[in-house]
Amino acid sequence: MSIARIDEIIDKHHGEPSSLIQVLLEIQAENHWLPPEALERVAERLQVPMTRIQHIATFYKAFSLVPKGRHEIHICMGTACHVRGAQRVLDTVQDLTGIKPGETDLDLKFSLETVNCLGCCALGPVLEIDGKTHGKMAPSRTADVLRHYE
């Protein structure tokens, strides 16, 4: 992400320090993570201490300080999904992508996370990719779903 693009995002919010979270969200949305040089530019332009930016970036789960894949996979491991085979779905995703929860593949294609609940228990087990819910998942369907995100 270029400094010019970071400046555009900041300028859109009139350089207001109160817009810090919104600026970080927009950088995260475009870049899939918050690179150190982006954080330094935001601190400089908004005149916000780097310690405050670091605190916010580590407090909110929406932010990542390490590169993320273009496609974020969330697998529900809540009770309803667990009893319907979520672990087998997770195992299959790990086998197909070569990554474990909390990791990103080397091609920056996929990041994998487990979550406690996605709020659609009747559809369990649930796999969510880039916010799109795939319900009643089975290991046999997992490869077909992932193929759509190549």
State residue 143's pLDDT score.
92
CA 53 vs. chain centroid, Å, equals 18
- Does domain 3-59 fall under CATH 1.10.10? My reply is yes
For the chain, what is the total number of helices (H) and then of strands (E)? 7, 4
Q: Range(s) for CATH 1.10.10 in the chain?
A: 3-59
Q: Range(s) for CATH 3.40.30.10 in the chain?
A: 71-147
SS3 at position 95? helix
State residue 62's pLDDT score.
81
SS3 at position 88? helix
- Does domain 71-147 fall under CATH 3.40.50.1820? My reply is no
State residue 150's pLDDT score.
76
Q: What is the pLDDT along the chain (150 residues), one digit of tens a residue?
A: 799 999 999 999 998 999 999 999 999 988 889 999 999 999 999 999 999 999 999 998 789 998 889 999 999 999 999 999 999 999 999 999 999 999 999 999 999 999 999 999 999 999 999 989 999 999 999 999 999 987
State residue 66's pLDDT score.
87
In this structure, what token pair is assigned to residue 116? 């406690």
State residue 101's pLDDT score.
95
Rounded CA-CA distance 105/121 in Å is: 28
